[in-house]
Structures are given as structure tokens and as C-alpha cells.
Amino acid sequence: MINRAHRRDYLRQILHAAGKPVKTSDLHKRLVSWVSRKGDGSDVHHEKTTIRDLKVLRGLNYVECEEGVEDKRELFWKAVGRSHSLVLSPSDAMSLTAIFQHAERFGMKSATDALGGLRDYAELVMKDGSTRELDFNKRITSGTRFTLLQPGKHNPEHLKRLQTAIMQDSPLEVGYLARDADGLECIYQLKPLGLSYQDSNVYLSAYVLEEKWLDAELKVELPHGKYNSNGPNKLCALMLHRITKVEPGKRIINDPEGYDIRNDDAQKDLVSVHTPRQLTRLLLSDNLHNRLTENPLEKNQKVEPHGSKWLLTCKTRDSQGFRLFLMANAADIEVLEPIVLREHILQMLIAALETYTK
């Protein structure tokens, strides 16, 4: 379905490609031909429609017009400004499609659904730039070799309210089904700080000022730790699909000084950072040497021969994700340092062996 935005984008594409003023009648002919190839062109049969589209673009400062020298009734149009505001090239459209697919696989389905018009437009641009008819769903994909779990179901309206609160610097009152609390609900007075899209889910990085059980008579200790609050006056990470309500906050809460979602203070809850960056030494087989040479573990890594194997040295975080990577490739990696990490992997392998040899 070709709408006004598509028509106007195509007019800008024509003018940017021309690099010089083009008269209205020539623009209209090309637009009619393009629309006819894509579907029903009845809505652009009249040149007045094209003129209206061009005037809208002129009002947005995307195009300019000038009178003809020989016939002042004929207008000539040219593109001005940067082309990326409205126009996607076919290659950019393919990249955007891959980004959409990747986002969906990592918990952003509701967000990509909300941008359905942009996704449709990207597909239209790809088809227009192709010399043959292709089903691009069969030509572009995004994924990972690791098994992705299905995302937890969250309320899209909650995500919108969190996004708005982050942009407007607003505290919130959030209802939450804390882990290991037998389905009981907790109420947090918090400041939403950032969002992390990971492991098929969406996580809220927040600063909690106050917390209390919805059932005021409950006389048990509130569970703290991973994907719950860490307690009052602390940062935490909350799962979006465990949030039960998002309402205006009842307290004034400031952002922690220097907050950055990429820093260890926030990441330790989002990705379970056990220790910050530290010296790590790994002994690799040829198989992992090839992989980690082509796709480095860290930018600062160094790899050198070590007997019949390879020694990789770098500084990296000891995180849950890193430990899962080591376990998944345990037959090809030996952890030499840090000793704490080596001991953890050893204990996990012993436990796994016991499970399989009972």
C-alpha cells in the first residue's frame, strides 16, 4: 500500500538523484509510473496531487522551487538539505530490516510492531531497488548460535510509560512481582534510569527509594538480589514482564550522580557482574583460537602460542554471560586466571559430571 509518505519520499529520491532542478510535469510522470508499478495509481493521476506533495516538502524545507525561464507558469524543483531525513537507500533498507529482526529476537517485538509503517516502507524501498521480484523474508535474517528463549510477556503500555518517565525525568510508583516471593506483589517508589534489551526480555535499570509489600500485614523479609530490588537507596534491575503497574511516583527522586547504564554499578545487576574488569588468562584449543581471533573476546586481548595450544590474555568482566560462554566451550578452554573463576568453572563441571553419571 503506497501512502503519502512513500510518494513524498520517492519525489525526494528523484530530486536528489537528479542533482539539478526538475520540472513539475516530469516529476509527475515519473511518480505515476512508479506508483503504477507498485499498485493502484489512481490517487496520483492528477498533477495537482504531485504539486500538493511538493508544497508539503517545501514547507518542511526538503525541497525548493523556481519559476521557469521561458514559461513562468512552469515550476522547477530541487532537493535541499540532507537526504537521510526521509529517504532510505535499498542497502540502508536491508540493514534496517536486519536490525528489526534482531530486535524482535531479543525482546523488542512490541517496539518493532509500533514501527510497522517504517518496516513496510523499508520493504517497499528494497523491492523498488531490486531488478527482480524477491521475498526479502527469505533473503535476510538475524540470529545467534545460542538458544534463545521465548520472551516473557509484558504490557506494552508499561514500556511506554517507562520510556516517557525516563525522557521527562519523572519518578514512578511501580508494582512488581518479586522473585522468590510466592507471587506476592511489592510496591516500589523508584526513579527509572535506563532500559536494557537482553536475553529475550526487557530490563529496567532503576534507583529504588522506598519499597513495601502490597499486603501491609505480611511479616516476612523482602527478597533482594537478582532481578528484584537491592533495597532502599540502591540501584537495581527489574524484569519488565514482572511489573504489574506503572503510575506517577509519590516522591521526589534524583538520578544517581554520573549514572551510566554501561558502567559496572548498573551492569552488575543487569548482567550479573561478579567482578569488574580484571586480568584473565585462557588456554585455547585450535578451534577456539580460530574463533576468538576472528571474533575477539575483547579489543585489548593478546594471543600467543603456548605449547600445543594458544594463550589468550585480556582484561574482561567476570559476568554471568562470560561464565556461560566458558561453560559452553569448556572442552576447548582452560581458565588459568583469575583463580576464583577457574575454581567456579571446575565446580560447575564436577556438578555436571555428577548429574550425567548418576
Query: What's the CATH number where 161 sits?
Result: 2.30.30.100
* Same domain membership, residue 162 and residue 258: yes
Whether 145 is covered by a domain: the verdict is: no
- Residues present in the chain in total: 358
Distance, CA of 149 to CA of 239 (rounded, Å): 15
Asked if 243 contacts 223 with a C-beta cutoff of 8 angstroms, the reply is: no
* Same domain membership, residue 244 and residue 210: yes
Whether 147 is covered by a domain: the verdict is: no
Distance, CA of 261 to CA of 264 (rounded, Å): 8
* Same domain membership, residue 310 and residue 286: yes
* Same domain membership, residue 76 and residue 14: yes
Backbone region of residue 65 per phi and psi (left: phi > 0; alpha: psi in -120 to 50; beta: other values): beta
* Same domain membership, residue 163 and residue 249: yes
Distance, CA of 261 to CA of 255 (rounded, Å): 12
Instruction: Tell me how far CA of residue 175 lies from CA of 53, 81, 98, in angstroms.
Output: 48, 47, 35
Distance, CA of 235 to CA of 205 (rounded, Å): 7
Whether 11 is covered by a domain: the verdict is: yes
Which residue, of 45, 67, 85, is where some domain finishes?
85
Distance, CA of 303 to CA of 339 (rounded, Å): 20
Give strand pairing partners of 234: 208
> 197-231 pLDDT, tens per residue?
888 888 999 999 999 887 755 555 666 877 788 99
Number of domains the chain is built from:
4
User: Got the DSSP string for 311-334?
Assistant: EEEEEEEEEHHHHHHHHHTTTTEE
Give the pLDDT confidence score for residue 43 in this predicted structure. Answer: 59
- The three grid cell numbers given for residue 231, joined into one nine-digit string: 533495597
Which one-letter DSSP state was computed for residue 269?
Answer: H
* Same domain membership, residue 245 and residue 194: yes
Which stretches of the chain drop beneath a pLDDT of 50? 41, 84-85
Distance, CA of 124 to CA of 279 (rounded, Å): 49
> 83-137 pLDDT, tens per residue?
544 556 777 788 888 888 888 877 777 778 877 777 877 887 788 778 888 888 8
Asked if 279 contacts 313 with a C-beta cutoff of 8 angstroms, the reply is: yes
Whether 233 is covered by a domain: the verdict is: yes
The helix, strand and coil proportions of the chain, stated in percent and rounded to the nearest 5, come to 40, 25, 35
Q: Determine whether 126 is exposed, middle or buried from the number of CB atoms within 10 Å of its CB (0-12, 13-18, 19+).
A: buried
Give the pLDDT confidence score for residue 285 in this predicted structure. Answer: 96
CATH code (residue 289): 3.30.70
* Same domain membership, residue 67 and residue 101: no
Give the pLDDT confidence score for residue 312 in this predicted structure. Answer: 97
Distance, CA of 340 to CA of 148 (rounded, Å): 28
Four-residue CA torsion sign, 143, 147, 150, 156: negative
Whether 196 is covered by a domain: the verdict is: yes
Asked if 301 contacts 312 with a C-beta cutoff of 8 angstroms, the reply is: yes
Give strand pairing partners of 279: 315
Which residue, of 247, 269, 291, is where some domain finishes?
269
Domain of residue 28 covers 4-85
Asked if 244 contacts 172 with a C-beta cutoff of 8 angstroms, the reply is: no
Whether 294 is covered by a domain: the verdict is: yes
User: Got the DSSP string for 91-112?
Assistant: HHHHHHHHHHHHHHHTT-HHHH
* Same domain membership, residue 250 and residue 161: yes
Whether 34 is covered by a domain: the verdict is: yes
Which residue, of 138, 173, 200, is where some domain finishes?
138
* Same domain membership, residue 15 and residue 41: yes
Distance, CA of 81 to CA of 63 (rounded, Å): 8
* Strand residues in 11-109 grouped as ranges (E): 22-23, 63-67, 75-79
Q: Give me the phi and psi of 39, to 5 degrees please.
A: 160, -150
Give the pLDDT confidence score for residue 351 in this predicted structure. Answer: 96
* Same domain membership, residue 168 and residue 126: no
Give the pLDDT confidence score for residue 153 in this predicted structure. Answer: 87
Residue 207 CA to its chain's centroid (Å):
22
Q: What is the pTM of this model?
A: 0.69
Whether 309 is covered by a domain: the verdict is: yes
Give the pLDDT confidence score for residue 129 in this predicted structure. Answer: 78
CATH code (residue 64): 1.10.10.10
Give the pLDDT confidence score for residue 85 in this predicted structure. Answer: 46
- Amino acid 343 reads E
* Same domain membership, residue 279 and residue 245: no
Q: Give me the phi and psi of 74, to 5 degrees please.
A: -90, 130
* Same domain membership, residue 351 and residue 300: yes
